[in-house]
Amino acid sequence: MSETQSTTGPLSALRLDERLRDTRLFFTQALRTFHATGSIVPSSPALAHAMAEHVRVRPVSEEPLRIMEVGAGTGAITRGIAAAMRPGDTVDLVEANPEFAGHIERLLETDPVLAPIAPQATVHAMLVDEMGTDRTYDVIVSGLPFANFTVDTVRDILDYYFEVLRPGGYLSFYGYLYTKEVKAVIARREDYLRQARTSWLVQDRIDRYGIRSDKVFANVPPAFVHHLRKPEKSS
């Protein structure tokens, strides 16, 4: 288990007005659709850096990556991916919220971190299960709030991720620290049980395929980032 608290480079250089603009939009949409958003503020640069681990760290000889980000939101984690991308990499940005999807489209034209990858990026304003299975990915970065979904929904999403990941490909997703403990105290019984069932399913996948988990304290709230790897094909 490693800990990530800060990052440097393009993400830390964003202007204050850009961060405030993203935060206002995120907060507005979170109030309307908290179930699908999972937070009221965008992810931090430190969390974005941790989530882009397998875009950033790769063998020198590796071919260009095919990347999918699910739940791109206002682009906070997308910037971490963009900062780590190399020539030839491509990224599908999946965002079901039309306000967020339109915002990402605009950022690809104007944002100093995202504009350079615009020719390599495609925004998909749809649910991830509408993406189909006609493409495969080397890296999937998921910002979906699993703790807010039913266990059946999370199972379907994780099964889809592993279907479209190439053998040996990586999946990174996060969850907030102490969620279960807080819900055990304040949540209604049925909500707590739903979240607990989802947590058990997610933990089972981590136990089976996980390679590392990072704690990111420089985020609101602090988060775990889990990195999973799809097994190579049997020989």
Dist CA 83 CA 7 (whole Å): 12
Look at residue 223 in the predicted model and tell me its pLDDT: 93
The model's confidence at residue 3, banded by pLDDT at 50, 70 and 90, is low
pLDDT of 135 above 70: yes
Dist CA 173 CA 100 (whole Å): 19
* H-type alpha helices, the chain: 16-32, 34-37, 45-51, 53-56, 76-84, 98-110, 151-164, 179-186, 189-209
Q: Is 71 left (phi over 0), alpha (psi -120 to 50) or beta?
A: left
Residue 235 DSSP code: -
Decide which of 51 and 193 is more confident. 51
Domains and CATH numbers, the chain: 2-229 (3.40.50.150)
- What SS3 state is found at 91? strand
pLDDT tens for 176-206 read 885 554 444 455 767 767 788 999 999 999 9
pLDDT of 139 above 80: yes
What is this structure's pTM?
Answer: 0.81
Dist CA 7 CA 103 (whole Å): 24
